[in-house]
Structure 1
Amino acid sequence: MSEDSKRSVVVERTATGHFVATNARGGTIRFGTASDGGTSTEFTPVELLLAALGGCTAADVDVATSRHAEPAGFSVSVTGDKVSDELGNRLTDLTVTFDVVFPEGAGAERARAILPRAVKTSHDRLCTVSRTVESGTPVTVTIKDD
């Protein structure tokens, strides 16, 4: 793998159950564990995974369709069931649902026509997040030696 293929974030604790992730470009996102009884509005790590699934495929589909017409509405909802069983905690039944509306016009007709193919291509080949989840990529966890 080349250095250009490497992706990374650093996650730092800001308080009990609260964290900030920083990417290599300096962007940040705050999240937490909802250990406060569910009153915090911060995303949980599971919600970030769902957002990553939806965001990755939404970006692919947006690029493919919006070159033909600007959507009048574009949203993606992502759901999953959190289970705890003999395999541990995980999500099952992940579903990504597109709700895309284009205005009238020739470009919009073309955008509507390619929407199903764009969604399928993103799912089957392009979306790094869903492709990683579906392929079951192993995760290595280490502790840094000082």
Structure 2
Amino acid sequence: MADQRDTFRSIELTKIGEARWKATNVRGGETFVGGGGDDPDFTPLELLLAAIAACSAADVDAITRKRAEAESFTVTTSGDKVRDDLGNHLVNLTVTLDVTFPEGEGGDAARAALPRSVAQTRDRLCTVGRTVQVGAPIDYRLAGE
């Protein structure tokens, strides 16, 4: 069994204003979350889309850059927010990668590896995307109970 220090992940979210929160990771990194008002902060839903994109991008880049560094690399993640019998959720989730590699042998090898690397991030590697795809129960608790 894996040591919990190797598997455990957490962040702390602290209210800093009206419909605004600060997320802090264990390394001291911070990002800000808004409630969708006029502030520029990402909403929780946008953070989920960004997390899927970033996780997939990191996987694909790690595989393809062994052959050639991408000249450009953009990932767009989108979906439709709906409310139905299941409550609020996203449908039609799509991850689109737009990657350009240089001409030459290394670029050719990276282009050849790209479809397989996208399949690997979708099917096995991207923890965020895999969690969304396979689902995971969430245990909601009140502190002290």
TM-score range, shorter chain: over 0.9
CA distance in 1, matches of 2:48, 2:96: 15
Residues 97-141 of structure 1 deviation map (CA, whole Å, 9 limit, x = unaligned)? 000001101000000000000000011000000110111111110
User: Superposition pairs for residues 1-40 of structure 1, below 5 Å?
Assistant: 1-3=2-4, 4-34=6-36, 36=37, 39-40=38-39
CA RMSD between the two structures:
1.0
Q: Secondary structure at the match of 2:70?
A: coil
Q: What is the TM-score of this pair, normalised by structure 2? A: 0.95
User: Superposition pairs for residues 1-146 of structure 1, below 5 Å?
Assistant: 1-3=2-4, 4-34=6-36, 36=37, 39-145=38-144
What letter matches 2:29 in structure 1? G
User: 1:70: Cα distance to partner?
Assistant: 1.2
CA distance in 1, matches of 2:18, 2:83: 23
Q: How many residues are treated as equivalent by the alignment? A: 143
Q: Which runs of 5+ in 1 are unaligned?
A: none
Moved over 2 A (4+): none
User: 1:40: Cα distance to partner?
Assistant: 1.7
Q: Secondary structure at the match of 1:137?
A: coil
What letter matches 1:10 in structure 2? E
Q: What is the TM-score of this pair, normalised by structure 1? A: 0.95
CA distance in 2, matches of 1:14, 1:90: 26
CA distance in 1, matches of 2:135, 2:143: 25
Q: Secondary structure at the match of 1:91?
A: strand
User: 1:2: Cα distance to partner?
Assistant: 2.0
Q: Which runs of 5+ in 2 are unaligned?
A: none
CA distance in 1, matches of 2:71, 2:137: 40
CA distance in 2, matches of 1:22, 1:5: 18
Identity %: 48
User: 1:16: Cα distance to partner?
Assistant: 1.5
What letter matches 1:41 in structure 2? P
CA distance in 2, matches of 1:145, 1:106: 60
What letter matches 2:10 in structure 1? S
